[in-house]
Amino acid sequence: MNHGLANPAAPPSVSFWQAFAFWLKLGCISFGGPAGQISMMHAELVERRRWISERRFLHALNYCMLLPGPEAQQLATYIGWLMHRTRGGMVAGTLFVLPSLLLLIGLSWVYIAFGETPLVAGLFYGIKPAVTAIVVQAAYRIGLRALRNPFLWAIAAASFVAIFALAAPFPVIVAVAALLGYIGGHVAPEKFQLGGGHGPVEAVFGPALIDDDTPTPEHARFGWYRLIRVLIVAALLWAIPMGLLTATYGWQHTLTQMSWFFTKAALLTFGGAYAVLPYVYQGAVEHYGWLTATQMIDGLALGETTPGPLIMVVAFVGFVGGYLKAVFGPDSLFLAGAVAASLVTWFTFLPSFVFILLGGPLVETTHNQLKFTAPLTAITAAVVGVILNLALFFGYHVLWPRGFAGSFDWISALIALGAAVALFCYRQNVIVVIAACAVVGLLVEMLMLS
C-alpha cells in the first residue's frame, strides 16, 4: 500500500514492556463506557502511535462486536495478542479490568461497611435517581441505533412484554430473538442488516506497524493443533477452580453458585453490559438474594464511575454477596467479599479471552467480513425492551422506596428529571451527572438532619 512521500515513516517496533505500560495506563483511564474506550484506543493506537492500521483495527472490532462480552476489553485483548502473541493478549485484557477490580473492591467495602453513615447515605440518595436516568438514556441510545423498521420494533415490544408481564428468563428472550433474526435474515434479509459502524475506513494516518498489507504473523495463523490446545487450556482454567470450589464447599455454597451463575452470564452479554444486567438482577437479587434491589442500583452507579467495562459491576455483586453471606465466617468479612469479587470477575471474563484466542486466527487468516448480522440485530432489538424494563424497575424502587403503598419521593423524582435533562438535552458526561447528583443528595441529607 502506497501512503505517499508526504506521510511519515512507519513507527519503530514496540517491545512487550512498552505495550505493557500502555495497557496499564489504558486500564487506569478507560472511563466513558465501550464507545469512549474504543474511541480512546483508536486515537492512541491508530492515530497517534500507529501500532495498527484503521482497517485492521475495524476488522478486529467487527469480530469483537459479534461476541458476548465487553467488546472494548476484547478489542484490547485482540490487539495485544496480535502484537505480542498469547502473553500480549493476556496482559492487555487483564490490565483493562484489573485497576477497576481493585478499585471496586475498595469502594464496595466502604459502601457495605459505612453505607449507613449520613455522608455515604446522602451521596447514594442522589446517585440512585441519576442511575435511573442513565438506564433510560441507554435504552434510548441503543433503540435509536437498533430499531430501524417495524419488524425490529415488534421484537423490542415483545421482549418487553415477555420480561415485564410474563417474567420470562433473559436467556429465553435472547434465544427466541436470535431464532427470529435467523429466520428473518433468510425471509427478509434487508430488514435485519447490522447497521452503524464506528467510523470511516478511508482515513489514513500514515504507515502503521500492523498495516493493511502486513502479513499475518505466524502465531496468528489458524491451525488445528493451536485451536485444540486453546480449548484444552481454557477448559482446565474453568474446570479446576470450579472443581476445587465444589469439592471444598459443595455445589450449593455461595462461592460455587456465584461462579456457575457468572459463567452463564458471561455467555449472554450480547449488546453490552446493560443487556445482561436484567439477568444478573434476576439471579443475584430475586433468586439467590446475594444483595437487595437498592444495592444493585448503587452497584451500577459505582460501575459507571470507575474505569474499565461496565460489566465490572459483577465485582460489586460478588463482594456484597460474599460479605453479607459471611462465606468465611463473621471475622473475615472483607476477605470473603474480596475473594467473591475476584472469583466472579474470573468466571465472567475467562470466556472473553477464550473467544479471542480461538477466533482471532480465523479472523486474521480469512480477512473476510463476518456474516452473522441478522441474529445479532434481532438480539439487539430485544435488548432494548429488556433495558426499558430495567429502567422501570429502577424507577419504581427509587421513586416509591416503600412500594406503591408508601409515599412518592418527589425529591428523587426532581433529581432524576434533572439528570435526564443533563443527559438528553445537554449531552453531559455520565460521570459529571452522577457527581452532581451525589452532591445534591448529600445536601438534601444534611438539610434533613439539621
Q: Which of 196-210, 304-318, 433-447 has the highest mean pLDDT?
A: 433-447
> Burial, 196: exposed, middle or buried (Cβ in 10 Å; 0-12, 13-18, 19+)?
exposed
Averaged over 53-73, what is the pLDDT? 81
Domain contains 126: yes
- pLDDT > 60? residue 232: yes
Judged by average pLDDT, the poorest of 103-117, 193-207, 241-255, 364-378 is 193-207
Structural domain contains residue 202: no
> What are the CB-based long-range contacts (under 8 Å, 24+) for 178-181?
178/375, 178/378, 178/379, 179/375, 180/155, 180/378, 181/374, 181/375, 181/376, 181/377, 181/378, 181/379
Residues sharing a CB contact under 8 Å with residue 252, sequence separation 6 or more, in sequence order: none
User: Among 33-47, 223-237, 431-445, where is mean pLDDT lowest?
Assistant: 33-47
How many CA atoms, within 13 angstroms, populate the side-chain half-sphere of residue 408?
Answer: 3
Amino acid at 178: A
CB 293 within 8 A of CB 285: yes
Q: Is the pLDDT of residue 172 over 80?
A: yes
Question: To which residue does cell 502479513 refer?
Answer: 215
| Whether 57 contacts 338, CB under 8 Å | no
Give yes or no for a contact between 311 and 348, defined as CB atoms under 8 angstroms apart: yes
- Could you tell me if residue 203 is inside a domain? no
With residue 423 as reference, give the H or E element that holds it: helix 410-424
In a domain, 58, yes or no: yes
Residue 165 has pLDDT above 60, yes or no: yes
| 29-44 mean pLDDT | 75
**What's 32's DSSP letter?**
S
Element (H, E) at 191: none
Provide the H-helix boundaries in 118-253.
Answer: 118-146, 150-164, 170-187, 224-249
Q: How many CB atoms lie within 10 A of CB 15?
A: 10
Out of 170-179, 196-205, 401-410, the most confident range is 401-410
How many CB atoms are closer than 10 A to CB 448?
11
**Residue 369 has what pLDDT?**
42
Cα 233 from Cα 229, distance rounded (Å): 6
**Is residue 198 scored above 90 in pLDDT?**
no
- pLDDT > 70 fraction of the chain, expressed in percent and rounded: 91
Residues of the domain holding 441: 16-193+222-449
* Coil/strand/helix, residue 24: helix
The total of structural domains in the chain comes to 1
Q: Which three cell numbers stand for residue 129?
A: 435517581
* Confidence check: pLDDT of 449 > 60: yes
- Measured in degrees and rounded to the nearest 5, phi and psi for residue 426 equal -110, 0
Task: Give the whole-angstrom CA distance, residue 124 versus residue 249.
Answer: 35
Quick one: pLDDT band at residue 2, thresholds 50, 70, 90?
very low
**Mean of all residue pLDDT scores within the chain:** 85
Long-range CB pairs of 239-244, under 8 A, 24+ apart, other chains included = 241/343, 241/346, 241/347
Is pLDDT of 367 > 60? Answer: no
* Residues 6 or more apart in contact with residue 388 via CB below 8 angstroms: 139, 156, 160
Q: With CA atoms as reference, report the closest residue to 116 among 445, 394, 395, 450.
A: 445
Structure letter (DSSP) for residue 211 = -
Spatial contact of 350 and 238, defined as CB atoms under 8 Å apart: yes
Residue type present at position 218: E
Short-list 79, 32, 127, 97, CA closest to 363: 79
Nearest one of 94, 40, 132, 69 to 272, comparing CA atoms: 69
Q: Is the pLDDT reported for residue 202 higher than 50?
A: no
419 found inside a domain: yes
Across residues 104-133, what is the average pLDDT? 87
* Range of weakest confidence among 62-76, 341-355, 412-426: 62-76
Phi, psi of 209 (to 5 degrees): -60, -45
When comparing pLDDT for 290 and 380, which is higher?
Answer: 290
Beta bridge partners of residue 52, listed in sequence order: 210
Q: Does 204 reside within a domain?
A: no
- Packed helices 118-146 and 293-304: angle between N→C axes, nearest 10 degrees: 70
Task: Judge contact between 316 and 131, C-beta under 8 A.
Answer: no
pLDDT band at 1 (very low <50, low <70, confident <90, very high): very low
Query: Per DSSP, what are the bridge partners of residue 210?
Result: 52
- Cα angle 357, 360, 364 (rounded to 5 degrees) comes to 150
SS3 238: helix
Task: Tell me which of 169 and 408 has the higher pLDDT.
Answer: 408
pLDDT digits (tens, 9 = 90+) for 387-409: 788 788 878 888 998 888 889 99
- Check residues 323 and 122 and name the one with the higher pLDDT: 323
Task: Give me the mean pLDDT over the 263-285 stretch.
Answer: 80
- Residue 377 or 201, more confident: 377
Residue 85 lies in a domain: yes
Cβ atoms of 373 and 192 closer than 8 Å: yes
Please state, in angstroms and rounded to a whole number, the distance separating the CA atoms of residues 134 and 125: 15
265 within domain boundaries: yes
Q: How far apart are the first and last CA of the chain?
A: 71
pLDDT in tens, 305-341: 788 888 899 999 999 999 999 999 999 999 999 999 9
For residue 195, pLDDT over 80 is answered with no
67: confidence class by pLDDT, cuts 50, 70, 90:
confident
**If you ran DSSP here, which 8-state letter would residue 327 be given?**
T
Position 346 scores a pLDDT of 97
